[in-house]
Chains A and B, each alone.
Chain A
Amino acid sequence: MRRIAVAAVTLIVLAAGARPISVIARGSDPQDFTLIERGRYLATVGDCTACHTSAGGKPFAGGRPIETPFGDVLAANITPDRKTGIGGWDDDTFYNAMHEGFSDKPLYPAMPYPYYTKVTRADIKAIRAYLNTVEPVENPVRSDQLPFPFSVRASMRAWNALFFSKGEWKPDPGKSAEWNRGAYLVEGLGHCGACHTPKNVFGGDKTGRSLQGYVLQGWLAPDITGDPRTGIGGWSVDEIVEYLKTGANRFQTASGPMAEEIVDSTQHWTEQDLRAAAVYLKDQQAGSRQPEQPLQAADPVMQAGAAIYADQCAACHAMTGDGVARLFPTLKHSASVQSDDATSLLRVVLEGTRAVATDRAPTGPAMPAFGWKLSDSQIAAVLTYVRNTWGNAAAAVSASQVTTARKALADRSE
């Protein structure tokens, strides 16, 4: 089964059908194609399909399990089917769901309404207009599958009181129009923070740590602030745009959940919107962490790592750590290599991964698994080496971290 994980409870499920449908859909003109087309684009920017379309299922018919630390939540059917979808909602109900996380009942924040609340009413209306045009699919989804106490939807009121602030995005007059557009997209429909912002134990965003990276679905959603070492400060606006548009740039190729995001969403964003998002992201402040001091090359673990790197890694990533643009990610000065949390690094070395293929960058290269070939201490040594060579600096990876990561990956049910 295709599954998707979302940060903590940061997704909610629109549960339809909990009350008798009595409202006749009042809404926009079904012949207003300009509005519908804008809504289609905005629904793509919001990547509604990521959660609301299940593998092999009809678009937006729901049923895909959303993995949260509290249990799986099934995404709702948001087709205009009146019985099992949202065809019975009026535009206000839809707006409330997006804006307040409340339709006919509280939604779980697995639905990213803490982000969507920043979207303008006009844009939400457009999305609704578009969703009215998709094929109505009768597909009853029983979304409430969380264990007690999370099964009590009313508990979301308390959650909202603590972690949710309602309100549309307010432009910052001190910043450019482009920056503000980027902020609106990143903080709103794009809901980048849903994956990339660290969460507290209740699944709410950690204040002051926006976009600094978070682990979910067995991957690190990396720091995407302007930090030059751990974030994307070293990427130009053009390079960020290229990455989001094609899935690859001269530093990186996308894989894991971001691959899916690029396929379903960002490759379809307009160049202008991508540029705006890039400008905004580059302007985000990193955490005030002390820069790491690199381990010395003479360290025995580093020496072992260097030897393993030369034998196992250098053929693709090169002795210089430069890699090959759009094919083999560069390790030198790489944010994901130097991230505090090594989850993704461990994962790609243990299991391998396949980079996304798009029409603009169709290669889709893959890294093979090394978990069968290298021991825990060998993997620890080579990761410690790449994290502390070519100007990189990051904490050493220990063999016990590799052991833990192996077990966690083996336990995952993907």
Chain B
Amino acid sequence: MARKLPATDVVIVGLGWTGSILAQELTEAGLNVVAIERGPWRDTATDFPPTYAQDELRYHIRHDLFLRPAQETMTFRHNTRQTALPIRTWGSFMPPNGVGGGGVHWNAETWRFLESDFVLKSHLTQRYGEKFLPDDMTIQDWGVTYADLEPYYDKFEHLCGTSGFAGNLKGTKRDGGNPFEGPRSRDYPTPPQKQPYGPTLWAKAAIDSGYKPFPQPSGNLSQAYTNSLGVTLGPCTYCGFCEWFGCGNYSKASPQTTILPVLVRRSNFQARTECVVQKINLDSARKRATGVTYVDTSGQEWEQPAELVLLCAFQLFNVHLLLLSGIGTPYDPGTGQGVIGRNYSYQTTSSVDAYFDNQNFNPFIASGAIGMCVDNFNGDNFDHAQLGFVGGGYIGAVQTNGRPILGTRVPKGTPKWGAAWKKAVADNYLSNYGTATHGSCYSYRDVFLDLDPTYTDAYGRKLLRITFDFHENELKMSAYLTDRLADIVQKMQPRSLEKHPRTGPYDITKYQTTHTCGGAVMGTDPKTSALNRYLQSWDVPNLFVTGATAFPQNAGYNPTGTVGALAYWAADAIRTRYLKSPGPLVPA
């Protein structure tokens, strides 16, 4: 039996990037905010100090910072003809756990999506015609435009201190930046990170190929920065322990290094860690959220009443909680009706590895987001008319790490172990170079999330079920991008080169990215979206759902910049509009 707690103004489920942003914005507005987080409190000096943060075995191999599947997992199948099985060891993606969420262990690649990405369906239809898109593709416009989001991208970047070089300042193109990006109202808060030898060489090859390479925008800072909230971040030390790791040097933008120091000083903020939200409670008419029910570590159930519920958990768990709470109509792939679970998407990555003689790339001089990229093959920056696919991604040389266990790339045909393997690692460690494409993943009628009919979690709740496979469009796109990347790498004159385009079927066991998206998407029509353009639930107006959950499909970029911008966009709508007149911000 749940024990009822005193009511609060706002309850936030999940204290990662978006939960922290919303908590900051709404406590600043004077509201009492309670954040409920499944994982532990995490603090830089206590949990990942520089004295042991760079421990590949602990953090990467043994998943120290991540959720344990025994806490919560999901089942997976490729298509509706299969029976889904539970994921018992994380593979393709890594669900976060604890305060700071994925913001603790991301690579900090901080992108904006293209202007055309936000109006994807109408843009592609207008350019190529209705029939150009595959029949089962369910892409749609977001309901917000790049211009709407620009001030909020800017706000997130100036929270993080993002290092980069604007290629489009208020409509004026600047050499050295990304010529394809939407206009920025001002430059990045800090200059780009210093480029190591590999990206420099690659950028030269890209220029020789007629492209305009630019430094990847990085949340690992090129220099010390004091952000909009007065919190100071340090300069990146190029240690190359970003993704999978917490940064011990206060130099990677995370809730810990940008927001939490301010938030914990607010008397109207509370965080309850190691508490698992079971469901969002609704009133009898099921039109209003009354709060949430959660379970603490002793198994005690608590009800936290609230005027406003913000679902800020990891993308998959947002959808899980919506389904478990009976909010919105679950998606039915048979009829195409329903919205909760609809338009799940992912990311289509690929790589080109090159092996050189007489080169020394010093791969250990690294950061999760130092590299040079070109955007000529992202989104609809190139003509798809003759290509037989839509979508694209950035391609580039991003020197994320040279870590000792997994940073041991060897040429094809090398034995997997033994003396020959050791020799190959030693011969190639400094002189091989990995480059990558980061492609879009559009949404399809038969790719979705729902509740598993068979398997339950530790609390007896049905597990979330993922039904996903790459579609022909994405695989063609990946092959094309990989070839374009290989063309550039070839100009670096390697001894040998290996192309690894994404191929089907999707492998849930091999890490690709943690960019799972969609499932409760934003849009203009309640029939095809769970949320309106302010991330407000169409069905329960005092519920907002943040994160990549709201992406109708995924673009060819890392999502966090857009996740941050959408969180600020929603926060602004709540502060300036919803609080004045609680109710639907868009008529359904």
Contact = CB atoms under 8 A, between A and B. Distances in A.
Interface string A319-351: 000001111100000000000000000000000
Contacts of B224: 324-325, 327
A328 B262 CA distance: 19
Interface in B264-321: 265
B49 A368 contact: yes
B234 A368 contact: no
Given A325-B224, A368-B50, A368-B248, 18 more contacts: A315-B50, A324-B232, A324-B235, A325-B232, A327-B233, A327-B234, A357-B261, A357-B265, A359-B265, A360-B230, A362-B261, A362-B265, A363-B231, A363-B232, A365-B250, A366-B43, A369-B51, A373-B51
A368 B52 CA distance: 10
7 contacts: A316-B50, A324-B234, A328-B234, A362-B231, A363-B261, A365-B44, A369-B51
B237 interface: yes
Contacts of B237: 315
B226 interface: yes
Nearest to B262: A362
A166 interface: no
Interface string A281-321: 00000000000000000000000000000001001100000
B232 A326 contact: yes
A326 to B, nearest CB: 5
A369 B46 CA distance: 9
A257 interface: no
B229 interface: yes
A312 B232 contact: no
A25 interface: no
B473 interface: no
Interface in A41-84: none
Interface in A362-380: 362-370, 373
Interface in B13-66: 43-46, 49-51
A366 B265 contact: no
For the complex of A and B, 4 pairs with smallest distance between CB atoms: A368-B49, A366-B45, A362-B261, A315-B237
Interface residues of B, number: 24
B408 interface: no
Given A325-B224, A368-B45, A370-B51, A362 B230 contact: yes
B85 to A, nearest CB: 42
Given A315-B239, A316-B50, A362 B229 contact: yes
B230 A368 contact: no
B189 to A, nearest CB: 16
B245 to A, nearest CB: 14
B431 interface: no
Contacts of A363: 230-232, 250, 261
Contacts of A315: 50, 237, 239, 248-249
A268 interface: no
A352 interface: yes
A368 B226 contact: no
Contacts of B262: 362
Given A315-B50, A316-B50, A327 B250 contact: yes
A196 to B, nearest CB: 27
Nearest to A367: B45
Contacts of B226: 326
Nearest to B44: A366
A361 interface: yes
A364 B261 contact: yes
A361 B237 CA distance: 23
A38 to B, nearest CB: 27
Contacts of A365: 44-45, 232, 250
A363 B262 CA distance: 8
Contacts of A357: 261, 265
B45 A352 contact: yes
A248 to B, nearest CB: 8
Contacts of A361: 230, 232
Contacts of B230: 359-363
Contacts of A142: none
Contacts of B50: 315-316, 368
Contact of B234 (A312, A316, A352, A354): A316
A312 B265 contact: no
Given A315-B249, A326-B226, A327-B250, A368 B231 contact: no
B482 to A, nearest CB: 36
Contacts of B46: 366
B367 to A, nearest CB: 13
Contacts of A324: 224, 232, 234-235
Contacts of A369: 51
Contacts of B250: 327, 363, 365
Nearest to A314: B237
Interface string A141-155: 000000000000000
Nearest to B265: A362
A342 to B, nearest CB: 20
Most-contacted residue by chain A among B44, B46, B232, B239 (CB, 10 A): B232
A374 B195 CA distance: 33
B481 to A, nearest CB: 36
A120 to B, nearest CB: 35
Interface in B402-460: none
A370 B233 CA distance: 22
Contacts of A368: 45, 49-51, 248
A308 to B, nearest CB: 12
B232 A354 contact: no
Nearest to A352: B45
Contact of B51 (A312, A327, A328, A354): A312
Contacts of A352: 45, 49
Contacts of B248: 315, 368
A121 to B, nearest CB: 38
Given A315-B50, A324-B235, A327-B224, A354 B261 contact: no
Contacts of B249: 315-316
A373 B55 CA distance: 14
A316 B51 CA distance: 11
A203 to B, nearest CB: 35
A364 B250 CA distance: 11
Nearest to A355: B45
Most-contacted residue by chain B among A325, A361, A362, A369 (CB, 10 A): A362
Interface in B95-151: none
A373 B229 CA distance: 35
Most-contacted residue by chain B among A325, A359, A363, A366 (CB, 10 A): A363
Contacts of B239: 315
A368 B45 CA distance: 6
Nearest to B236: A315
Contacts of A327: 224, 232-234, 250
Contacts of A373: 51
A362 B231 CA distance: 6
Contacts of A316: 50, 234, 249
A365 B260 CA distance: 12
B45 A354 contact: yes
Nearest to B231: A363
A318 B261 CA distance: 24
Contacts of B265: 357, 359, 362
Most-contacted residue by chain B among A328, A366, A368 (CB, 10 A): A368
B17 to A, nearest CB: 18
A324 B249 CA distance: 11
Contacts of A359: 230, 265
A359 to B, nearest CB: 7
Nearest to A360: B230
A362 B263 CA distance: 9
A357 B231 CA distance: 10
Contacts of A367: 45
A278 B248 CA distance: 34
Nearest to A325: B224
A131 to B, nearest CB: 25
Contacts of B229: 362
A366 B250 CA distance: 10
